[in-house]
Amino acid sequence: MGFLSDTQNDNGNGNCAAGGFMSLVRRKQVDSDRAKTSSSHHHLAKALTIPHLIAIGVGSTIGAGVYILVGTVAREHSGPALTFSFLIAGIAAALSAFCYAELASRCPSAGSAYHYSYICVGEGVAWLIGWALILEYTIGGSAVARGISPNLALLFGGADSLPMFLARHTIPGIDVVVDPCAAILVFVVTGLLCVGIKESTFVQGIVTAANICAMIFVIVAGGYLGFKTGWPGYQLQSGYFPFGADGMLAGASTVFFSYIGFDSVASTAEEVKNPQRDLPMGIGLALSICCALYMLVSAVIVGLVPYFAMDPDTPISSAFASHGCNWAAYIVTIGACTALCSTLMGSILPQPRILMAMARDGLLPSFFSEVNKKTQVPLKSTIVTGILAALLAFFMDVEALSGMVSVGTLLAFTMVAISVLILRYIPPDVVPIPSSLQEAIDSVSSKYRSTTSLVDSDADDADAKAVTSENPVPVLVSKETTLEDPLLDKVAVQLNYFTNEENRRTIAGWAITCTCIGVLILTSAASSRTLISTYRYSICGVGGVLLLSGLISLTWIDQDDARHSFGHTGGFICPFVPLLPIASVLINVYLLINLGGDTWMRVSVWLAIGALVYALYGRNHSSLQNVIYVPAAHVDEIYDSISRPHP
């Protein structure tokens, strides 16, 4: 027979409904050195260090939005407290960054949130995350590209000053505005990415440095003007919080999206020389630099001009112009152009690696998994991504679809935080092994036939623990001690129940589920404006109770000992678990629910298409279609038996 009764053969046969459900929850193994050595695909170049990662993170995060966002948010939400809004949003983004840092160092392979979800949650959720990220990066790159040509036109003197072959044109009859400049820029970036990761990152670093120099100019020159004029924006009767704390928090929820982009660093994990050290530092330093620049720019601009007098379209340029520095608009526009170019590179860079990771796992055709031997990049995936993004940028005004970008990002942030909880409390205890190793599995299992099977041994241990847990003798007291107090006896039995490994995993699983349900109920009710107040508060109370119950349960029980050896050890460890990941889930789900009905209708269509593609192709071609799941404790023994001669 196979690897005794503990193995599970996932071959897709048997009951159709059961097989379909099992395919959704099957999980893959963390890429180990042995797995990488035995894999047939070519690997990406190990060329990135901390400076490269900072360039990718900062360049992907700081877009042209900050040059506009400060005016809109200050006028409508925060007022002079805009700096605090950026700080709060930065702290909220840091919660997700902590989760990304741990998973990226433990599982340093291409795929980012898709890869982590596949390892910790299951194939079905991983597919939806990967499918949503494809939408995010494609639309995001196209939207950024279409925003570059208007800024370039400003540098040349006006909207009609670009050369004919770069200017926008309206196609008669169908009322479609084409943007040749956007398409050309996408093709240029695609060609640069095809050359190599180190070369493209070097160029992105130069462009990002130019953008940072423009922001430093705003901070220094604006600070000089502010001290010279007495900071008129802060000398208001309405005070520092004209919209109150609610306005400041509303502003924070708006500017939170200006921190999206640091996750691009995680997508390059397979190309980092020392991922356990460099990935957490790259993510943390990139986010810290972005937060510092955002806060300093906002502090200067809201101090130069009263918040109610800001130009919502060009707040920074108009702030300098109000003090007689019209020439500063050119520097600000250059900064906006460089920011958009850097963000465009950061949007297209992760997409081919997501496609490659999904193709390696069999969920997409193998065409996307091919890595060029010379440049060591996923060349075909990069070209396909560039062509698709260029077509969208050329023909479509994707501004109306920009909200869909946020859905993919927030879904990824949410699943990464949940994956950290799963990794800490209920990490996978079985590992998929190819069915081609059946002989090695049988060889190892034969060692246990004389006594009992591996699973029977584990079951006997579990039964023995169960007997111990039912023993009325308390855990913390010796057998000779007699307790006559029934309350102490009950507490001791409960403590023993929590220390039983099988019971602990069961409780942890239900606690994580309870927490997620509570978050969904709480945020949905809190965001609803149509419910009667009584019902709304009651539903919020139910969600809050579920959330707190899950949090308290996870805080009470121990984390799994297997977390110390899960994946690649020696990297960053996320602090304050379970509080930090749960807070991240709460923030991201709240923002997801508040994106609007129209956005969710469009995303639902895309996700429905993805579910159909998975059902027709991905499920049947998955690399986990014919694997045998064996206990993780016996994997090394099985692989070692391959090289050992049989007696």
* pLDDT tens digits, one per residue of 612-644: 999 999 999 999 988 888 887 777 777 777 766
Pick the more confident residue, 2 or 54: 54
Q: Are strands 176-178 and 430-434 parallel, antiparallel or unpaired?
A: unpaired
pLDDT band at 120 (very low <50, low <70, confident <90, very high): very high
Here the tokens at position 159 are 């909207």
The DSSP bridge partners found for residue 433 are 628
Q: Which of 138, 152, 213 is nearest to 341 (CA)?
A: 152
Contacts of 191 (CB under 8 A, 6+ apart): 386
Percent of the chain's residues with pLDDT above 90: 58
pLDDT band at 516 (very low <50, low <70, confident <90, very high): very high
For the chain, the distance separating the N- and C-terminal CA atoms, rounded to the nearest angstrom, is 19
In this structure, the number of other CB atoms found within 10 A of the CB of residue 37 comes to: 7
In terms of C-beta distances under 8 Å and separation of at least 24 residues, what long-range contacts does 600-608 make, across chains too? 600/407, 602/401, 602/403, 602/404, 603/132, 603/135, 603/404, 603/407, 606/131, 606/132, 606/135, 606/404, 607/128, 607/131, 607/132
What is the average pLDDT value for the chain, to the nearest integer? 85
Cα gap 261→268, rounded to integer Å: 13
| CB half-sphere exposure, 5, CA atoms < 13 A | 8
Q: Given this model, what pLDDT does residue 425 score?
A: 96
Here the tokens at position 242 are 């004209």
Q: How many residues does the chain have?
A: 647
Mean pLDDT of 488-499: 48
pLDDT band at 398 (very low <50, low <70, confident <90, very high): low
Q: Given this model, what pLDDT does residue 67 score?
A: 85
Helices (H), 528-571: 533-556
Here the tokens at position 56 are 């990718």
Q: Given this model, what pLDDT does residue 9 score?
A: 56
pLDDT band at 396 (very low <50, low <70, confident <90, very high): confident
Pick the more confident residue, 27 or 33: 27
Pick the more confident residue, 16 or 53: 53
> What is residue 30's DSSP assignment?
P
pLDDT band at 8 (very low <50, low <70, confident <90, very high): low
Mean pLDDT of 562-571: 86
pTM as predicted = 0.87
Q: Which residue has the tokens 């496609």?
A: 355
Give CA 215 to chain center in angstroms.
27
pLDDT digits (tens, 9 = 90+) for 60-116: 999 877 888 898 899 999 999 999 999 999 999 999 999 999 999 999 998 999 999
Is 539 a residue whose pLDDT tops 90? yes
- Sort residue 596 into left (φ over 0), alpha (ψ -120 to 50) or beta: left
Cα gap 377→73, rounded to integer Å: 40
Q: Given this model, what pLDDT does residue 176 score?
A: 84
Percent of the chain's residues with pLDDT above 70: 85
Is 274 a residue whose pLDDT tops 80? yes
Helices (H), 396-532: 403-425, 438-446, 454-470, 486-499, 501-527
- Sort residue 173 into left (φ over 0), alpha (ψ -120 to 50) or beta: left
Is 525 a residue whose pLDDT tops 70? yes
Cα gap 385→145, rounded to integer Å: 14
